[in-house]
Chain A
Amino acid sequence: MGPLVAIIGKEIKDYFVSPIAYIVIAVFLMVTGWLFFTTFFLFNQADMRNFFNLLPMTFSFVIPAVTMRLFSEERAAGSLEVLLTLPVRFSDVVMGKFLSAVLFVAALLLPTVTYPIVIAFLGDLDWGPVMGGFAGALLLGAAFSAIGLFASALTTNQVIAFILGALICFCLTVLDKMLFFLPDSWLGAVAYLAADPHFGNIAKGVIDSRDILYFFSVMFIALYAATLVMQDQK
């Protein structure tokens, strides 16, 4: 437990001592805030559905930017050698970096909690979907963090890590809109792979074990792949 906590603490500190964290948070809040509130008053509905609809797309680009440095930087600087020759299990290193990214996503979402509070003053807000939305956002963020971490493990170049991570996340986000290209027999399987509908269900307040299982599967596969990639590079 000790090393894991130490690694999470160090990574979190790394995020917040550099300006990158604040820039990413600011960009995220500006983009989502602008896109959400410009149309919010046109619908004349006190809900956050449009905000949560936007999230998979914005997360596809914001989260890889958060995770891109996690392994790339260490490998490029050589500090990975120092880290891996300390008495830590490799799984602790991967989990530590992953959980620190998840905590960062939570910090990213935290300011947006003010949105439903403001909206609740304007009209009768149904808190169920809002709670579901935030829970789903955290799951989605965690899954994308795992993918970003995997992309970061593939290369020593942070820009490439970002582009790869964003590409994978973006594909998972738009996959369900691309289904008309596919033969009918594939539909069921490929539709299950898309991240958007799973997140959409949770954001509607429908908690289905299949959706939760989906996100945990993505996390597990991505983290396991990151582990394999890192071990293969030796």
Chain B
Amino acid sequence: MIEVENLSKYYDGFCAVDRIDFSIQKGEIVGLLGPNGAGKTTTLRMLTGYLPPTSGNIKVNHLSILTDAIEIKRLMGYLPESAPLYRNMLVLDYLEYVARVRGLDEKRRLHRIQELSEVCGIQEIMHFAIGELSRGLKQRVGLAHAMLGDPEILVLDEPTSGLDPNQIVEIRDIIRRASREKTIILSTHILSEAEATCDRVIIIHRGKIVADDDTQALQEISGLDQVVLLSLRHARADAAISRLKAVEGILDVQEVGRPDTETLSLSLRCREGSDPREDLYQAIKATDWSLIELHQQTQNLETIFRELTRED
């Protein structure tokens, strides 16, 4: 549905987006993930036709952004970061205005505004000025604005940034409900956000794509060592380390701390793809140490993200 081909953007010689390629299928929820200044917003701005690309092209349903920008904009609903809507307009007036600009006829306009005010939970605030609203409410008005023309694609730039945890859950719910019938692209620098809402994550760093995969697949990414953490009581450090090193699949053992005099915490680096927990248990059972904690650190997006975007 969306094809991004060799897309670049330079600002006065500074390269914000560097020859990126990706494509998005109908119905996907894609998260654009990256640290601040990675080029997420610039990419979304080019995608929505606000910024012209320096080179490369974007195709949406075989329409090119270079020649059919208006048609593409019709297919998209866009919410820029922190929802910069007209502060002095009333919510209802604003939505009416957007509906008019989008060319909805009067009957559909009212129907659609009513429908969206329910979906986004803004019925109560239709007669407030947008500038008076809290961030969470403003963000909901922004979502209603983006969905107003019933676009096939929703583009959301940091939809939950600056919101409190309750508001984040509410906004996520709205996004998830919308995702049943729409393709959604959202950007975020919060990893749990991407994990919670997206089917697929594209990680951008310094204008380049460093990873692009299903959220699931990314979490199982190989190439990173697995780590098992365990705590023992009544064990001497050197004895424990030498004994555990002998277990099949363990590459390295390190003491990570002594929470109290009795307890010893160890971090074990294991061979990729191995699960030595059972062997470890057997090895410890043979001694008189007591095992009080044993767990395998799962790879979450956080570790992968830090690995991929580390400044070298």
Report which A residues bind B (CB closer than 8 A): 2-3, 5-7, 9-10, 13-14, 17-18, 77-79, 81-82, 84-89, 234
Contact = CB atoms under 8 A, between A and B. Distances in A.
Nearest to A77: B84
Contacts of A3: 100-101, 103
B73 A79 contact: no
Contacts of A86: 73, 98, 101-102
Interface of B: 45, 48-52, 70-71, 73-74, 76, 78, 80, 82, 84-89, 93, 97-98, 100-103, 145, 149
Contacts of B71: 87
Given A2-B103, A87-B74, 18 more contacts: A3-B101, A3-B103, A5-B100, A9-B100, A13-B93, A18-B88, A77-B87, A79-B84, A81-B45, A82-B80, A82-B145, A85-B49, A85-B73, A87-B70, A87-B73, A87-B101, A87-B103, A234-B51
B77 to A, nearest CB: 9
Nearest to B148: A86
A52 B45 CA distance: 48
B51 A7 contact: no
Contacts of B48: 85
Contacts of B76: 85
Nearest to B104: A2
B94 to A, nearest CB: 9
A67 B87 CA distance: 18
Contact of B84 (A5, A6, A13, A82): A82
A6 B145 CA distance: 15
A2 B98 CA distance: 11
A14 B130 CA distance: 14
Q: Does more than half of chain A's interface fall in helix, strand or loop, or is it mixed?
A: helix
Contacts of B50: 81, 84-85, 234
Contacts of B88: 14, 17-18
Nearest to B81: A78
Contacts of A79: 84-86
A88 B80 contact: no
Contacts of A7: 101
A93 to B, nearest CB: 10
A3 B70 CA distance: 12
B153 to A, nearest CB: 12
A2 B100 contact: yes
8 contacts: A2-B101, A3-B100, A3-B101, A79-B86, A82-B145, A85-B49, A86-B73, A88-B101
Nearest to A17: B88
Contacts of B103: 2-3, 87
A134 to B, nearest CB: 31
B136 to A, nearest CB: 18
A21 to B, nearest CB: 13
A102 to B, nearest CB: 20
Given A17-B88, A79-B85, A85-B73, A6 B101 contact: yes
A234 B52 contact: yes
B80 A81 contact: yes
The list of the 9 closest CB pairs from A to B, nearest first, reads A78-B84, A6-B100, A87-B73, A87-B74, A85-B78, A85-B48, A3-B101, A6-B101, A2-B103
A84 B97 CA distance: 14
B85 A82 contact: yes
Contacts of A77: 84, 86-87
A230 to B, nearest CB: 12
A35 B236 CA distance: 100
Q: Which of A5, A18, A82, A234 has the most chain B CB atoms closer than 10 A to its own CB?
A: A82
Contacts of A89: 70
Given A87-B102, A234-B52, A81 B97 contact: no
